[in-house]
Amino acid sequence: MFGLFDLLRLLMSVLIILPLSSVLRESGYYLAATILGAKEKKLIIGSGPVLFRLPTIEVRKYFFMYSWMEYE
Q: What is the pLDDT of residues 18-68, one digit of tens each?
A: 888 888 888 898 899 989 998 888 888 888 899 999 998 888 888 766 777
Identify whether the C-beta of residue 6 lies closer than 8 Å to the C-beta of residue 19: no
Q: Which residues of 15-41 are buried (b: 16+ CB within 10 A; e: fewer)?
A: eeeebeebbeebeebbeebeeeebeeb
Separation of alpha carbons 40 and 34, rounded Å: 10
pTM of the model: 0.72
pLDDT of residue 39: 87
**Average pLDDT in the 9-18 region?**
86
Residue type, 7: L
pLDDT of residue 36: 92
Interacting residues of 13 by C-beta distance below 8 A, sequence separation 6+: none
